[in-house]
């Protein structure tokens, strides 16, 4: 008489919680037949679809706010594992996420696809999703309640009104003007122009104008308004360099440079290539707008304006630069709808980065090396502090590096190329690009150094070893509810 015994994953779960069986094996005792390899013990099809939809939507939220592909992949797999789907493959590219759940050789796999259609900075939404993922991986919330909570997060309005974000961008421009050597009057002009640029960009975004043309319009408006203020004598004898540089930095702050470098370092080359093209097009639009305004000013007969220095080398301005860097980072975090706790941490990181950069430059270190060192410190400190305060490290990393973005070097290069017709602008432009790359690489390296020792981490974290700026670090499994 044949006796059939089926080994399910639920049997002896407490003894095999950290080493679940990959497949269910059927053994016929006394028949002499080889063991038959069947699919893993999974829930019913409807539950599998429900879990995959939840996981892929969480990944979509992370990608839409600028998280890296490695972060989204690890988070999706962690959520699937927590709800009883241990054998999933995730394919994340720049505009879509695909998740496949394998069910052995006898059953067809289940696949879920989600397209990332919109991208907007809302760090409060990212923080809420992070908290939801922690609850999921720690077994605190059933799958259907998690789905309801995710719907509430994604449909909730921004925590601050849109005009408040405009004021935050204006404050950021004013702080950057002071950081690079501007006076109080120049800072006020930079704030007004930046607020105008932000409102115009908001209007164009409502009309669904592509971001390339939005950047072009922003660069044109910022440069033209600054040149007009100087020509009218409102800002006195101050050159328009600091005003334009502050507005350019605000426009550069939306570029996903950190995520691009993170994807390239962690091996997601297709996503990194997509982000690179996006950043290149947005930068090209900004450059085209600035050059257009400069050429129009020359055609109108405006006299050439003097260029300000890249950085004020005076040690007396070091405290002011530190405070201005903190204000710029905090204002950017506010404009990106971060939580009050995240704003405070981002301000501390921005102040430390700006002060450290200025001190390194005063010590004779080159601007590129100074940018890399300061960004590494930001990434490391942000990674350690943000994890303890349950803040996504991405918020601190991006906000902290904003005061160091090379807006002034970019404007100098474009001015030398478009107005002075000098090839000296090419090395300056390369300096700006190298500084941006050094900042992004330094932030990613600092976050990698901030990761805990990997000797005691689980299998998933060893698989996705590398810098992580969003998602869980040590996911767990639990029984499906």
Q: What is the pLDDT of residues 394-446, one digit of tens each?
A: 888 888 888 888 877 777 787 777 777 778 778 888 888 888 888 888 888 88
Whole-angstrom Cα distance, residue 70 to residue 247?
32
| Composition of the chain by helix, strand, coil, percent to 5 | 65, 5, 30
Spell out the alpha helix ranges (H) of 300-313.
none
- Listed range (24-28, 144-148, 241-245, 472-476) with the worst mean pLDDT: 24-28
Question: Is the distance from CB of 13 to CB of 479 less than 8 angstroms?
Answer: yes
The mean of the pLDDT values for the chain is 77
- Can you tell me the distance from the alpha carbon of 435 to that of 441, in angstroms, rounded to the nearest whole number? 10
Q: Once rounded to an integer, what is the mean pLDDT over residues 345-373?
A: 88
Q: 417 CB contacts (<8 Å, ≥6 apart)?
A: 291, 425, 426, 429
Residues 111-118, mean pLDDT to the nearest whole number: 85
Q: What percent of the chain has pLDDT over 90?
A: 11
Sorting pLDDT into bands at 50, 70 and 90, what band is 57? very high
Domain residue extents for the chain: 45-157, 162-450
Q: Is the pLDDT of residue 41 over 70?
A: no
Is the dihedral angle over the CA atoms 58, 445, 382, 198 positive or is it negative?
Answer: negative
Pairing of strands 110-115, 96-101: antiparallel
What pLDDT, in 10s, does the model give residues 60-99? 998 888 888 888 888 999 999 888 888 888 998 888 899 9
- Cα 52 from Cα 88, distance rounded (Å): 9
- Split at pLDDT 50, 70, 90, the class of 308 is low
pLDDT reading at 230 higher than 50: yes
Q: Determine the 3-state secondary structure of 287 from DSSP.
A: helix
Q: How far is 323 from 328, CA to CA, in rounded Å?
A: 9
The pLDDT of residue 414 is 77
Return the SS3 of 228.
Answer: helix
- What is the pLDDT at residue 239? 63
Is residue 24 predicted with pLDDT exceeding 50? no
pLDDT-based confidence at residue 307 (cuts at 50, 70, 90): low
> How open is the CA angle 130-131-135, to the nearest 5 degrees?
120
Please name the residues in contact with 88: beta carbons below 8 A apart, sequence gap of 6 or more: 52, 55, 76, 77, 80, 81, 99, 100, 101, 102
């Amino acid at each position: 008489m044949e006796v059939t015994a089926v080994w399910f994953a639920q049997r002896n779960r407490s003894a095999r919680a950290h080493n679940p069986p990959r497949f269910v094996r059927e053994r016929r005792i006394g028949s002499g037949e080889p063991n038959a390899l069947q699919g893993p013990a999974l829930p019913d099809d409807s539950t599998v679809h429900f879990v995959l939809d939840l996981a892929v939507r969480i990944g979509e939220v992370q990608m839409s706010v600028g998280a890296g592909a490695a972060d989204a992949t690890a988070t999706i797999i962690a959520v699937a594992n927590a709800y009883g789907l241990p054998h999933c493959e995730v394919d994340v590219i720049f505009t879509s996420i695909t998740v496949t759940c394998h069910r052995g050789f006898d059953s067809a796999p289940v696949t879920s696809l989600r397209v990332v259609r919109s991208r907007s900075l809302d760090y409060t939404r990212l923080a809420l999703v992070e908290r939801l993922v922690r609850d999921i991986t720690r077994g605190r919330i059933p799958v259907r309640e998690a789905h309801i909570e995710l719907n509430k997060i994604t449909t909730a309005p921004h925590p601050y009104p849109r005009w408040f974000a405009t004021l935050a961008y204006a404050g950021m421009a004013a702080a950057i003007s002071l950081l690079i050597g501007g006076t109080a009057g120049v800072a006020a002009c930079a704030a007004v122009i930046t607020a105008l640029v932000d409102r115009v960009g908001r209007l164009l975004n409502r009309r669904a104008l592509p971001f390339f043309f939005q950047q072009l319009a922003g660069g044109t408006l910022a440069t033209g308004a600054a040149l007009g203020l100087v020509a009218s004598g409102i800002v006195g004898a101050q050159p328009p360099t600091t005003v334009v540089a502050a507005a350019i930095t605000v426009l550069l702050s939306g570029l996903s440079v950190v995520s691009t470098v993170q994807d390239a370092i962690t091996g997601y080359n297709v996503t990194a290539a997509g982000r690179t093209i996006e950043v290149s097009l947005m930068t090209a639009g900004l450059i085209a707008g600035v050059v257009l305004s400069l050429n129009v000013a020359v055609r109108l007969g405006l006299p050439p304006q003097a260029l300000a220095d890249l950085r004020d080398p005076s040690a007396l301005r070091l405290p002011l630069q530190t405070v201005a860097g903190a204000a710029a980072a905090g204002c950017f975090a506010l404009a990106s709808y971060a939580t009050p706790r995240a704003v405070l941490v981002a301000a501390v990181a921005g102040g430390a980065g700006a002060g450290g950069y200025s001190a390194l430059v005063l010590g004779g270190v080159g601007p590129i090396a100074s940018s890399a060192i300061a960004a590494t410190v930001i990434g490391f400190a942000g990674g350690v502090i943000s994890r303890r305060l349950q803040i996504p490290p991405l918020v601190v990393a991006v906000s902290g590096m904003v005061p160091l973005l090379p807006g002034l070097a970019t404007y100098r290069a474009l001015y030398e190329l478009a107005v002075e017709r000098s090839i000296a602008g090419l090395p300056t432009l390369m300096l700006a690009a190298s500084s941006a790359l050094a900042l992004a690489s330094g932030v990613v390296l600092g976050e990698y150094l901030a990761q805990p020792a990997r000797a005691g981490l689980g299998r998933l974290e060893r698989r996705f070893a590398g810098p992580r700026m969003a998602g869980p670090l040590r996911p767990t499994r639990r029984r499906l509810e």
